[in-house]
A and B are shown apart, each in its own frame.
Chain A
């Protein structure tokens, strides 16, 4: 321990010092710096870009709320046992394969441009609406796989025990299997949600002036890329607290279960 700390400090200093030297002495460093790190533009544009970021926040908050429910439903459908439910399971598999396979940006483009082009009465033609629908479709497929992994990780004896106590199949699922399954999948679940938050930037292809388009507009107006740095900061400012919150949630859950184990 005594020698470990100074060695770690020294090696960190040497490593990052060398890296900084390498980057700042690159022949294009001055141009790079002028293009991406203009602090005056950064300060000036932060309120404007943050305002556009609210559209992204609104989209992912709505989408996440819906996905939590639809993905669980899909996972349950896919876990239904017995030959009777084969068509349901098959449909759930096809759905998950399809929407995990097609790039999100293509789903957004096809729905966002395609649905309004149908010109059907009663179908909304708001870009934000169709972008949110697309993200829900794609991420429901991802998140349902996470839920399913959770459900399958609960030992079958749990279900068998619940059924032998007289619980129906639904009651067993609701009160015995799902509570354990969901608790186990919270970290990967939030992992997918961070991915979703970043993917809200894909809505930009539909012309919505959300954070990425606002940054692009500002870039083209001034021929300066600092605005992308502003956008990046905004995303990080949201995802880092969420990641720490997940860590805390998981740690708390583990503490509680272990405490319970000691007491009995």
Chain B
């Protein structure tokens, strides 16, 4: 027992010396049990990440260049989430040894062994969810937004109260849907679609007047998916800022190292830079009070 303690102390000392000696940001992030070899990974020497398929801009990018990925290619490093993932991977000491798996959202939290180290697909932290899985620190602070169609009455709404008479929809199981139910409280029951695509289709068909999505997605929807789509506005956060976190198996020790990497990326401005590159268009939208 004592020899183990002494050994640990020596190892920690050695790592500390190594870190201060080189001053290299990567080795600093890898100190304290976060050396590449010490990480808790499902596949040795490789970082196995997961997201949903298709993955949509501006969160993902790179086109359909790699099977089986549709719309975007997570391996590209393009799009906000892919760029953050590769920045974190670099902090942990990985460059090309990153694999991506296709995991539907519901599969990311249901019981059973996870086949990924962590999962990124605009998953918002909530206290209830945190009891079942573990979340990393925030990698994005998000606002919900409303998309309508040009020439329809809904685009003139300035307050949440004015939105109540309209038929609204969102993707099933998202905080966007929850936002409609909890904060807009429309007079007709909102619709919940299996995918954002189905919600967009219903908006185009005129079956619903508006869809609620996160603000960056709203820019993608109006720019690419709905020709006459307009962002009616973004909603202020209620009860604290909503944030996206990476999803881990509960108790996974890798989370501590990812958090350390994220803290560094926030501190040294890397994340700000990635935001400017991929989400700068998603800044200015009128606020619906």
Question: A residues within 8 Å of B by Cβ?
Answer: 28, 31-32, 34-35, 113, 116-117, 119, 125, 127, 204-209, 213, 216-217, 219-225
Task: Other than A125-B206, A207-B194, A222-B132, give 14 A-B pairs with Cβ distance below 8 A.
Answer: A35-B111, A113-B202, A116-B207, A125-B207, A207-B169, A207-B192, A213-B172, A216-B106, A217-B173, A217-B177, A221-B128, A221-B178, A222-B129, A223-B131
B residues in contact with A113, CB < 8 Å: 198, 201-202, 205
Among residues of A, the one whose C-beta sits closest to the C-beta of B205 is: A116
B residues in contact with A220, CB < 8 Å: 105-106, 172-174
Q: How many angstroms from the CA of A117 to the CA of B207 in the assembled complex?
A: 9
Among residues of A, the one whose C-beta sits closest to the C-beta of B113 is: A28
B residues in contact with A204, CB < 8 Å: 194
A216 engages B110 (CB within 8 Å) = no
Check A222/B128 contact, CB under 8 A, given A31-B111, A35-B111, A217-B173.
Answer: yes
Chain B's nearest CB lies how many Å from the CB of A119?
7
Check A223/B191 contact, CB under 8 A, given A35-B110, A113-B205, A127-B207.
Answer: no
Among residues of A, the one whose C-beta sits closest to the C-beta of B109 is: A223
- Does B126 belong to the interface (CB within 8 Å)? yes
Chain A's nearest CB lies how many Å from the CB of B5?
32
Can you list 30 residue pairs at the A/B interface with Cβ under 8 Å? A35-B110, A35-B111, A113-B198, A113-B202, A116-B205, A116-B207, A117-B204, A119-B206, A127-B191, A206-B191, A207-B169, A207-B192, A207-B198, A208-B191, A209-B192, A216-B172, A216-B192, A217-B172, A217-B173, A217-B192, A220-B174, A221-B126, A221-B128, A221-B173, A222-B128, A223-B128, A223-B129, A223-B131, A223-B132, A225-B110
Among residues of B, the one whose C-beta sits closest to the C-beta of A130 is: B207
B173 engages A207 (CB within 8 Å) = no
B residues in contact with A225, CB < 8 Å: 110
- Does B23 belong to the interface (CB within 8 Å)? no
A117 engages B205 (CB within 8 Å) = yes
Interface residues of B in 189-204 (CB under 8 A from A): 189-194, 198-199, 201-202, 204
Chain B's nearest CB lies how many Å from the CB of A71?
29
Chain B's nearest CB lies how many Å from the CB of A131?
12
B206 engages A205 (CB within 8 Å) = no
Among residues of B, the one whose C-beta sits closest to the C-beta of A113 is: B201
Q: How many angstroms from the CA of A222 to the CA of B127 in the assembled complex?
A: 8
B110 engages A209 (CB within 8 Å) = no
Q: How many angstroms from the CA of A119 to the CA of B131 in the assembled complex?
A: 46
- Does B112 belong to the interface (CB within 8 Å)? yes
B residues in contact with A28, CB < 8 Å: 111-112
A116 engages B173 (CB within 8 Å) = no
A207 engages B193 (CB within 8 Å) = yes
B residues in contact with A31, CB < 8 Å: 111
B106 engages A219 (CB within 8 Å) = yes
- Does B133 belong to the interface (CB within 8 Å)? yes
A residues in contact with B201, CB < 8 Å: 113, 117
B residues in contact with A213, CB < 8 Å: 172, 192
Chain A's nearest CB lies how many Å from the CB of B8?
31
Chain A's nearest CB lies how many Å from the CB of B249?
11
Q: How many angstroms from the CA of A119 to the CA of B111 in the assembled complex?
A: 43
Q: How many angstroms from the CA of A219 to the CA of B191 in the assembled complex?
A: 16
Q: How many angstroms from the CA of A206 to the CA of B192 in the assembled complex?
A: 8
Q: How many angstroms from the CA of A137 to the CA of B263 in the assembled complex?
A: 58
B residues in contact with A222, CB < 8 Å: 128-129, 132
Could you say which of B132, B133, B172 has the most chain A C-beta atoms within 10 Å of its C-beta?
B172
B residues in contact with A32, CB < 8 Å: 111
Check A207/B202 contact, CB under 8 A, given A35-B110, A220-B105.
Answer: yes
Q: How many angstroms from the CA of A125 to the CA of B177 in the assembled complex?
A: 21
Check A209/B190 contact, CB under 8 A, given A35-B110, A125-B207, A217-B173.
Answer: yes
A residues in contact with B207, CB < 8 Å: 116, 125, 127
Chain A's nearest CB lies how many Å from the CB of B144?
15
Q: How many angstroms from the CA of A28 to the CA of B193 in the assembled complex?
A: 31
Q: How many angstroms from the CA of A31 to the CA of B173 in the assembled complex?
A: 21
Among residues of B, the one whose C-beta sits closest to the C-beta of A114 is: B205
A216 engages B191 (CB within 8 Å) = no
Check A224/B206 contact, CB under 8 A, given A217-B173, A217-B192.
Answer: no
B128 engages A116 (CB within 8 Å) = no
Interface residues of B in 177-194 (CB under 8 A from A): 177-178, 189-194
Chain B's nearest CB lies how many Å from the CB of A162?
51
Q: How many angstroms from the CA of A204 to the CA of B109 in the assembled complex?
A: 21
Q: How many angstroms from the CA of A92 to the CA of B201 in the assembled complex?
A: 34
B127-163 CB mask vs A (1 if < 8 Å, else 0) is: 0110111000000000000000000000000000000
Among residues of B, the one whose C-beta sits closest to the C-beta of A222 is: B128
B residues in contact with A116, CB < 8 Å: 202, 205-207
Among residues of A, the one whose C-beta sits closest to the C-beta of B178 is: A221
Chain B's nearest CB lies how many Å from the CB of A202?
12
Query: Looking at the complex, which one of A127, A208, A219, A224 makes contact with B173 (CB distance below 8 Å)?
Result: A219
A119 engages B205 (CB within 8 Å) = yes
A207 engages B199 (CB within 8 Å) = yes
Chain A's nearest CB lies how many Å from the CB of B6?
36
